[in-house]
Amino acid sequence: MNDAPSSPGRGQRSPRVLVVDDEADLRELLELTLVGMGLDVDCAADLAQARELLARHTFSLCLTDMRLPDGEGLELVSHIGRQFPNTPVAVITAFGSAENAVAALKAGAFDYLAKPLALDSLRSLVRAAVQLPQHAGAHAAGAAGAGAAPDTDPTRELIGASDAMQEVRASIARLARSMAPVAISGESGSGKELAARLVHLSGPRARQPFVAVNCGAIPEALMESEFFGHRKGAFTGADHERDGFFQAASGGTLFLDEVADLPLPMQVKLLRAIQEKRVRKVGATSEEPVDVRIISATHQDLAQCVSAGRFRQDLYYRLNVIELKLPALRDRRDDIPVLAQAVLERLARRAGLAQPPRLASVTLKYLQSYGFPGNVRELENILERALAFSNGEVINVEDLGLRPTVSDGTENERAEERVPREPVPDEPRRAQPARPVRVSDEGIPESLPDFLDQAERDAIQRALEKTRYNRTAAAKMLGITFRALRYRMQRLGIN
């Protein structure tokens, strides 16, 4: 296979690469390899020469050594990041110098190469990097991921206009420009896999594979084979050679979900694979190069796992080069209306409904007052259940299934209020006087029934105050009947 990019059209110049290294032999090796790929190459022996060339030419990529006669390669990384933000920089580090590689990635380097250089890894890095300015510009205009229309922005899948979500979108755009490992943190159901996929789709690897792995779902005895593959006859039952997750994600992204669940022996092997960019199949005698970007995620606190001895510190620093934190749904309650509408539209299409049901105003307020320990995934489950119990036109609080519901028994209800409910007991339970419900730092109430009672009590009292205690008007405002409101007032102790 020819490593050279497709030939430029008439009048177009080949991408230009800047090589910065004080070793003449290494500069020559890099120049010959890059010219063989159809690229124009300029070489510099120190920072001063590199800055002069940057001032005269536009480069599609810069390759720089970490140690130069007149300074550090990190200085050049920072300089290019400030003055030429569309030029990716890859650093060349000494063998086994993990700290330098991590420092370069944190400083904004696109990727790194370890000495002695593996030319196949160099070519893979260059092929990804020389496409980056085109992808970055397209993203700014709303570029698409793999196979999508050019005017489609992958981050549109992240629904919500809150400040928190705007920051997440901006972070994804920045992360897409780098090959640095990304650690995504957030509660269960907050959208970690979606965020990882969008980082992949927004970057130069968008047309390559995205392989998602749930680290907690793989039996420990099979982990090495699943991650790195195996040779035929490597163990009982290995009747043919098989690639692992790293090979399947070649050229693309490997997403390690719930990475904190990896056992310590596997963490050692994963660390080596990430650091050396090479893997050895079970039963093989030699390693093979791999070209994957690593994105990891967990709902656990990895730093605490390190302190407790359950997670290796060196692997933690390798994975946690750049952190992307996803907000909990309760921290962006203003996004709940548009999120709920999008979920209902999707569920309606799947159910073959002409149009999605609407949420009663009190239902929407109820959802915005709920803590959502399961975040967006829980919201989706609640609405799917509510759609099944509603009449298809309107969703009331009773349809959510978050607390026991009752029927008003009225036969002359409006059509949108006619939904299945439990019978009303003859003597409703009298609630205890309202008292504050303590909520933990994670947003979980100490008593969910008391928390829900308080939310319902507050909604009814606001409606009564708004209507000057006209219970008929308050019931209409809340989307329930007079009898249903009277029952709730009795049960909640509202006079």
Cα→Cα distances 358→97, 202, 406, Å = 58, 33, 21
Question: Cα 210 to chain center, whole Å?
Answer: 13
Provide the CB-side half-sphere exposure for 368 (13 A, CA).
17
Q: What is the CATH number of domain 174-234+241-327?
A: 3.40.50.300
Q: How many CB atoms lie within 10 A of CB 191?
A: 24
Q: Name the nearest CA neighbour of 223 among 269, 171, 162, 177.
A: 269
**Structural domain spans, the chain:** 16-135, 174-234+241-327, 330-492
- For the entire predicted model, the pTM comes to 0.65
- Element containing residue 109 per DSSP (H, E): none
CA distance 302 to 320: 9
CA 256 – CA 211 distance, rounded (Å): 9
16-135 and 330-492 share one CATH topology?
Answer: no
Q: Which of 162, 169, 188 is nearest to 368 (CA)?
A: 162
Contact present, 241 and 232 (Cβ < 8 Å): yes
Alpha carbons within 13 A on the beta-carbon side of 387? 23
Contacts of 74 (CB under 8 A, 6+ apart): 66, 91, 103, 104, 107
Class in CATH terms, 330-492: mainly alpha
pLDDT by position in tens, the chain (length 495): 444 444 444 445 788 999 999 999 999 999 999 998 889 999 999 999 999 999 999 999 999 998 899 988 899 999 998 899 889 999 998 755 667 777 888 888 888 888 888 888 888 888 878 865 443 333 332 333 333 333 456 777 889 899 999 999 989 988 887 888 999 999 999 999 999 999 999 888 888 999 999 998 999 989 999 999 999 988 888 889 999 999 999 989 999 999 999 999 999 999 999 988 899 999 999 999 898 999 999 989 999 999 999 999 999 989 988 899 999 999 999 999 999 999 999 998 988 888 899 999 899 999 998 989 999 999 999 999 888 888 778 998 888 887 533 333 333 333 333 333 333 333 343 344 455 677 776 778 777 777 888 888 889 989 988 888 888 888 888 888 877 788 788 888 887
Q: What is the Cα–Cα distance from 200 to 191, expressed in whole angstroms? A: 14
Task: State CA 34 to chain mean position distance.
Answer: 34
**Helices assigned H by DSSP within 37-151:** 47-56, 73-83, 98-107, 119-129, 132-140
Give, as one character, the DSSP assignment of residue 235: S
Which CATH code for domain 16-135? 3.40.50.2300
